[in-house]
Each structure stands twice: as C-alpha cells, then as structure tokens.
Amino acid sequence: MFGPLNFREFRKENLENSQETGCPLCDDLFNLKICFDIFLKHLFEVHNLVIEDVQNIYNLEKYLKYWKDKFKTNPIENIVPSISVDINNKYFLLSSLLKDDKKLRHSLELERVLSAQEFERNDTSFSKECLFCKFYHHGCRAVYLQHLSEQHNLQLGNPQNLVFIDELITEIENKLNNLQCIYCEKIFPDRHVLKEHMRKKIHKRVNRQNASYNKFYIVNYLENDPTLRIVRDDDVTIDKDENLDSEYSDWLESESSINCLFCAKSESQMDLLIAHMQLDHGFKFLLNLNFYQRIKLVNYIRKKLHEKCCHFCDTAFKTISEVFNHLEKENHCKIPDIQKFDQPEFYFPTYENDALLYFIEDTSTLCGGEETEEDIK
C-alpha cells in the first residue's frame, strides 16, 4: 500500500511555535506539536499529498504557508508532480525534486543555522571545563575555542565558520573519554598514549573526510545538496611544527590585500580602505547594520559587480568599468534597500573569498567610533 514516505520521529524544535497550522490545501487546522501524525494522515487520505522528509523541515509552518499561498493561485496539479497508483488514485509528491521546494527547504535550513550561529556568537552563559586541563570558562564560546587552540593546539578551524559548537565540543569530548583519536578514530590503551599519538601525528584537528563533522561548519550549508558538503581545506590549520606562530593563523587577521567595493583600488590595511571608501566614494558601513547584515551587504555588492550590475538601481552594463563609472556619476555608492541584501543566501561569498569579510566586525571602531545622526545623513 502506497502511503506517507516517513513517519520517523518529528523534531519539535523545527516548529517556531505551538499555534495551530493550516493545511496547505484546505481550511483545517492542526497543532503539529500534538498531532503531527494526524496531520500527515489528513494530507494523504484527504488530499492524496505526500511531503518528502517532512519531519526534517525546519520552520514547517512557514514551509506550509508558502505552499498554501502558492496553491491559492495555481492548482496543485499544475505545480506538483503526481504518481498514479491505479486508474482512480493519483498521489502528489511534494519533494526537493521540485525546484521551488528545494530552494525553499534550503532557505529555511540557512535560517536555522544562521540563527543558531548568531545565538552562539552573542550568548555569554556558556560554561565548560577545558577538555585537556583544569581551566574552567564561563562566558562566550569564542574565548573557550581560543583557549583550546592556543594552549592545547586543538585546531577546529575558523571560529566564524563554526556552528552548533556545544555539540561539536561534546562529540570531541566523548571521543577523548573513550580514548579515541578525533582524527583517525583509533582507540588507545590510555590517555597518555592517545595524547602522544595526537601530538606526533598532528591529529589534534578534525578529519575533513569525516562527514560527521560537516554539520559543524556553516560554509557547508551553502550547498543545496547535503551530499556535496565537506569540511574545506582552509577551515582547518595543518602545521607540522606546533611551536610555529603560523599554527594559529586561522585565528589571526588575514594579511591579504583588501579590495574596494566600488573601484579597483586595494589596501593592505582596513582603516586605509575604510577612509578611501568614505572620502572618495562617500560610502561607509552604518552602525545600525549588525555583523551579519554587513557580511550580507558586502556579498550582495560583490555579486552584483560580478554580474556587471549596479547594486543600488540594478542597471546592467557590459563591463565592470561601465559599472564603476555609473556608480560615481549617479552617486550610487551607497547602501541599497535592506530587503535587497538582508537574505540568508548573501551570508556566504558567491564566487570568491573576500578579504574584506574578515574585517567587517571591526568597522565601527575603524570608522572612528559612534556616528551621529548628522554623519549618517
């Protein structure tokens, strides 16, 4: 008997609230936290609809509302592929094979990981004893990670790329308690032998080929296809001499040249570039943009330049030079409507690594402190 694809345990944290949620194809309401299985049965028996991996969709209410609005203007028969079981029964399969569905699921997943990362970044209630010594930390997670890196040479990668840090630390702690190497996963007779093995073999790091670590690196969520996710080489520092200063380069500011957003000029120091963009182009990051919005803004502008378009008015040109000339002539070197760039997909660089992103967090101090309302005008 053909039936719902999956009745595995539903993750209730995928719901934003406990209010009743409307069926996407009728006016019936369901409290998904209480009667999730009843809701799936309703979709299947009443509407002949099956949703692939529905239990794994983050913010299911938003997902269902999107399709409810979609079905109001276009019948389900015109949107969702169907499967004919017999001459009288036709079932609809709402899955990631559908372009809109795949894009929606990916967008909701990005919202989930970015929300988790923002919480971890701002939360100061984190408490944890060091995995290797008696140091006990209470406060932000970044300081704890820095201690692991600088004092014990545990290289987990760029902290700005980490997410679900508590779970990652717990996973590493469990392996160490089980006398298991976190890199090669071999088991040793005692902690001293394990410690020497990890030190000599440079195994105080995660294995980029181990898919179980993929979920902890936010850059992996850029891909729509989870099977393509892998811990990138530049996420993990690999140095053979643990006494070298370069071993901690993953925690230090990049020394790469930083390119201006609006011309071909580059600088090695952020303060010089900030001054250039402000004096020559009349542009500066406003302090009412948070850390994530600044990253999204840079990526949005870079993407529009890559497409040879003005980021402010969306006018297209044939060459980058024409775009730069247009920006100066029309005085469009300014921040566009926030709705244009404050989207999850712009949290990641779209076509290249941008050194400017490594400095965004410090732009407020480089711009000379607090801005007045007159400055912003």
Q: What domain range includes position 355? A: 258-376
Confidence class for position 169, pLDDT limits 50, 70, 90 = very high
Average pLDDT over residues 103-112: 90
Given 230, 251, 272, the domain boundary residue is 251
Give domain status of residue 199, yes or no.
yes
Percent of the chain scored above 90 by pLDDT? Answer: 34
245-285 residue pLDDT tens: 333 333 333 345 678 888 888 877 777 777 788 888 888 76
Confidence class for position 177, pLDDT limits 50, 70, 90 = very high
Structure tokens at 173: 């702690």
Distance of alpha carbon 3 from alpha carbon 347, whole angstroms: 38
Same domain? For 195 and 133 the reply is: yes
Predicted confidence at residue 357, as pLDDT, reads 55
Predicted confidence at residue 8, as pLDDT, reads 45
Order across the sheet with 89-94: list the strands: 49-51, 89-94, 82-86
Confidence class for position 47, pLDDT limits 50, 70, 90 = very high
Residues in the chain: 377
What pTM, to 2 d.p., does this model score? 0.56
More confident residue, 287 or 2: 287
Same domain? For 271 and 247 the reply is: no
Alpha-helical (H) ranges within the chain are 36-47, 60-73, 99-122, 141-152, 165-177, 191-200, 270-281, 291-306, 320-329, 338-341, 363-366, 373-376
Average pLDDT over residues 230-255: 40
pLDDT at 232 over 80: no
pLDDT at 239 over 90: no
Same domain? For 312 and 199 the reply is: no
Same domain? For 217 and 304 the reply is: no
Give domain status of residue 109, yes or no.
no
Give domain status of residue 117, yes or no.
no
Predicted confidence at residue 27, as pLDDT, reads 92
Phi, psi of 267 (to 5 degrees): -135, 155
Same domain? For 279 and 336 the reply is: yes
Give domain status of residue 116, yes or no.
no
Phi, psi of 84 (to 5 degrees): -90, 115
Same domain? For 343 and 324 the reply is: yes
Average pLDDT, the chain: 79
Give domain status of residue 1, yes or no.
no
Give domain status of residue 81, yes or no.
yes
Given 81, 97, 113, the domain boundary residue is 97
Given 63, 97, 131, the domain boundary residue is 97
- How many domains does the chain divide into? 3
Which positions ≥6 away from 68 have C-beta within 8 Å?
22, 23, 24, 25
Give domain status of residue 209, yes or no.
yes
> Half-sphere exposure (CA, 13 Å, Cβ side) for 100?
10
Percent of the chain scored above 70 by pLDDT? Answer: 77
Same domain? For 305 and 349 the reply is: yes
Same domain? For 322 and 267 the reply is: yes
Same domain? For 264 and 232 the reply is: no
Same domain? For 241 and 263 the reply is: no
Same domain? For 203 and 276 the reply is: no
Same domain? For 363 and 334 the reply is: yes
Give domain status of residue 323, yes or no.
yes
